[in-house]
Structure 1
Amino acid sequence: MGQRLERSAPEALGIPSRTIQTFIEAADSQIHELHSLMLMRHGSVAAEGWWSPYRAERPHMLFSLSKSFTSTAVGLAVAEGRLSPDDPVISFFPDQAPKTASDTLKAMQVRHLLSMSTGHIEDPTFLMRQRPDGDWISEFLERPIERVPGTHFVYNSGATFMLSAILQQITGMRLLDYLEPRLMQPLGITGATWELSPQGIHTGGWGLSITTEDIACFGQLYLQKGRWEGRQIVPEAWVREASLPQIANGSSPESDWEQGYGYQFWRCRHNSYRGDGAFGQFCVILSEQDAVLAITAGVAEMQPVLNLVWDILLPALNGEPLPPDPAAHEALHGTLSCLKLTPPQGEASSTLAAAISGRTYALAANERGFDALRFEAVDQDWEVTFLRGADAFPIRCGAGVWCEGASALLGFEGGVAASAVWSADDTLLLTMRFTDTPFFYTLPCRFAGDYLSIEGRVNVSFGPTRFDLLGRVR
């Protein structure tokens, strides 16, 4: 994979290699589930690393960090004269607006979608996604708007979807298609994907997948006030408006979620701002320090990640270059090149292995929707096949090592790294990392005669993280 960004020794950029080393060690001991990071200063990469089995060339699901890209598309459309932040939202959807629109709906403008100040008292996204006919636009417009738009902050992914819908309405192009020549191509972002609504509209508020270096390039573009390689890609005025606090969202001096909200960007402590997404996807822009930090992860709590940034990295961003420190730089390079998330260890075989191989277990009804599991020993590895209706999803699991491949088990084709070891004579422990996402699954498969029981766990989720699977040999 070609590198678009220049690389430099941290000391040449005013950052001690030892400090970055300390940050990595703290992340490994306190956070446990970073997948990648890229730290930039003065336009060059000071440090980058991917925790194996996550890879530099693989995209990572951004969740709500997608919103900042949607905001950028709106800014580009405003610059082209296609719309104004003052335009009423219902003006774009005459066929889907309620016949009798409330005064608050009539008052809702594009800027209120951008700043999460639509007047809703709760995010309507869940109800939009549950609507039987898939018409998310109508569901959004039909929801009660209890407050005057522009007066209260409520985090609202549905509002960002509406921005995507507006862009598609006025341009005749889906959001990503609109961004392709205007943002993606200039930044060298290739292979981006974005989830679609049932009506074929990019989801806007989530669903974009790109690489860590793509995230860093996007952050650097904003740090450079919209300029890239001598061209004004995004209007400087939009960068300023998007990154300034447009509405208050709390008052705690200790929370990076209560420093104000811009146009699909969060204000942070230390006079910085960011785009972020669930489970630890970050693009942090530190304008005063001329730095950008891109992170992907699979963490349940995001504030501790930023706390490490403020406590360890921020104080070390010196104004002037530092003397070379070859020993520290070499040690850091060694650490960054060997980052890894090690699969669980255990026994390679069991007295039950021969009997289990070739068996298919019919599963009781379960929330994961699986009908059956099939186990097959292959050399020292296991191939475990998840059966759902007519679909079969085989995953090869290495014996105490990651076996890397691809799977559509989560509903889309993506990378997977899986391992299998015997944690007890009757328990085959499966670990599956879906490496384009924050998610990994732990499935301790306990065998007792003809029966199988699994007390499964996913590391992060918007709902329960634990689930049970019960099966019997067919």
Structure 2
Amino acid sequence: MPMDMEAALAEIVREGRAPDLHGVVVTRGRDLIFEYYGEGPDVAWNAPLGTVTFGPDTLHDLRSVTKSVVGLLYGMALEGGHVPDPAEPLYACFPEYPDLAGRTGLTVGHALTMTLGLEWDESVPYTSPANSEIAMETAPDRYRYVLERPSVEEPGTTWRYCGGASTLLGGLIARGTGVPLEEFARTALFEPLGITAFEWARGGDGVAAAASGLRLTPRDLAGIGRYVLESDSPWISRMLTPYVAIGEGLDYGYQWFLGPGWVAGVGNGGQRLYVRPDLGLVVVVTSGRYNLPDAQETPVFVIEEVVLPALLPGG
């Protein structure tokens, strides 16, 4: 089986269909069944790192896979009684903005499902101040920046990709637990899973970027995927429930993408945490195709042409 994957991966790399591939980790149950690491230029949250030879201990940007980790952390904070239930009013959680108190109808759940109905645009490159996430990161107050966006749709009706929603969740975790987001992640999730090395990029205000700033090794990210597979926490079921259709046959849960038979965290540049419960399968792909329109082709080719054919019955 690993030899099948090794040969298939070598083929798509040779054909140029997996450019800038940095790493692949495949686990089934508790077993690491395939692993690959490449070499090439990389960045850490847009800061150049030069040419990197990747390996099992090399941290890698997760970009928006960070959001899915934050969705998991929110449930842990909720189980500890530290954060409001998804049904609770959102603006009431931020009483420091009394001028926004008149806004009603939005709940924490709308942030979890990215159905806030607020004006938000991440369609331009993440190197541009016209990108709403970048504008938020450079704003004097990230939470106010998100909360005061104009309302353009009825809450709960339309999915709009929004790093600001994840930022609000990170803020609720930090203020509810009384420690920075990255510290709660360390004690509640990382250390129990044996994850000892991580980085979390911070904005100019020193706050960890809940939308995109986490760096982990592919093996450790796979460990989080295994936790999602194996945990008996009721939050996992809530988190992976399809709440809103987002097109192309996909749905969205609480900060997770949901497809037919699989769930995933997806990040800029070709980052992917793919979980297939029926196979007990976790696939992590890291890549350096940041801000490129074809970035997601790399993990798709790896998963659909390398991993699944080797593991599906009759494959």
TM-score normalised by length of structure 1: 0.57
Give, in angstroms, the shift of residue 100 of structure 1: 5.6
In structure 2, the CA distance between the partners of 1:179 and 1:99, relative to structure 1 (3 Å rule), is closer
- SS of the aligned residue for 1:68 comes to helix
Q: 1:35 to 1:98 in 2, by over 3 A?
A: same
Partners in 2 of 1:74 and 1:273 — Cα distance? 17
Structure 1 92/198 Cα, relative in aligned 2: closer, same or farther at 3 Å? Answer: farther
Task: Check conservation: 1:97, 1:142, Cα contact below 8 A.
Answer: no
In structure 2, the residue matched to 1:244 is 241
Which aligned pairs between 1:13-412 and structure 2 lie closer than 5 A?
15=1, 17-29=3-15, 30-52=17-39, 53-82=53-82, 83-99=84-100, 101-102=102-103, 106-123=104-121, 124-131=132-139, 134-224=140-230, 226=231, 235=233, 237-250=234-247, 252-253=248-249, 259-268=250-259, 270-299=260-289, 300=292, 301-305=294-298, 306-318=300-312
Deviation at 1:318, TM superposition (A): 4.1
Q: Percent identity?
A: 26
The answer (yes or no) to whether the contact 2:26–2:281 under 8 Å persists in 1 is yes
**2:100–2:148 CA contact under 8 A, matched in 1:** no
Q: Which runs of 5 or more structure 1 residues have no equivalent in the other structure?
A: 1-14, 227-231, 254-258, 323-474
Letter in 1 for 2:308: L
Distance 2:207 2:138 in 1: 16
Cα displacement (A) at 1:28: 4.2
Change (3 A) 1:76 1:307: same
Structure 1 residue 313: Cα displacement: 2.5
After superposition, the C-alpha distances for 1:213-244 in whole angstroms (9 at most, x for unaligned) are 111101111121x2xxxxx6xx2x21112122
* AA at the equivalent of 2:113: S
CA 16–31 in structure 1, closer or farther in 2 if over 3 Å, else same: closer
Task: Name the Cα RMSD after superposition.
Answer: 2.0
Which amino acid letter does the alignment assign opposite residue 54 of structure 1?
F
Deviation of the 1:204 alpha carbon: 0.5
CA change 1:21–1:130 in 2 (3 A) is: same
Kindly report structure 1 stretches of 4+ aligned residues shifted beyond 4 Å.
Answer: none
Distance 1:91 1:54, change over 3 A: same
Structure 1 residues 212 and 16 mapped into 2: Cα distance closer, same or farther (>3 Å)? closer
Higher helix share: 2
Three-state SS of the structure 1 residue aligned to 2:114 is coil
Structure 2: give runs of 5+ residues left out of the alignment: 40-52, 122-131
The number of residues matched between the two structures is 286
Counterpart Cα distance in 2 of 1:318 and 1:163: 37
Query: Shift of residue 20 of structure 1?
Result: 3.8
Distance 1:113 1:220, change over 3 A: same
Q: Distance between the aligned counterparts of 1:19 and 1:57, measured in 2?
A: 22
Label 1:19 to 1:57 Cα distance change in 2 as closer, same or farther (>3 A).
closer
Q: How far apart, CA to CA, are the structure 2 residues paired with 1:127 and 1:266? A: 25
Distance 1:119 1:32, change over 3 A: same
In the TM superposition, 1:451-470 aligns within 5 A as: none
Please report how far the alpha carbon of residue 209 of structure 1 lies from its aligned counterpart in structure 2 after TM superposition.
0.7
Distance 1:128 1:302 in 2: 24
Paired residues of 2:20 and 2:287 also in contact (CA < 8 A): yes
* Local SS of the residue matching 2:161: coil
Relative contact order, CA 8 A, sep 6+: which one is greater?
Answer: 2
Residue 90 of structure 1: how far off its partner (Å): 1.2
- Give the equivalent residue in structure 1 for 2:42: none
The amino acid that maps onto 1:116 is: M
Structure 2 letter corresponding to 1:45: L
Q: 1:122 to 1:28 in 2, by over 3 A?
A: farther
Quote the Cα distance in structure 1 between the aligned partners of 2:183 and 2:148.
Answer: 28
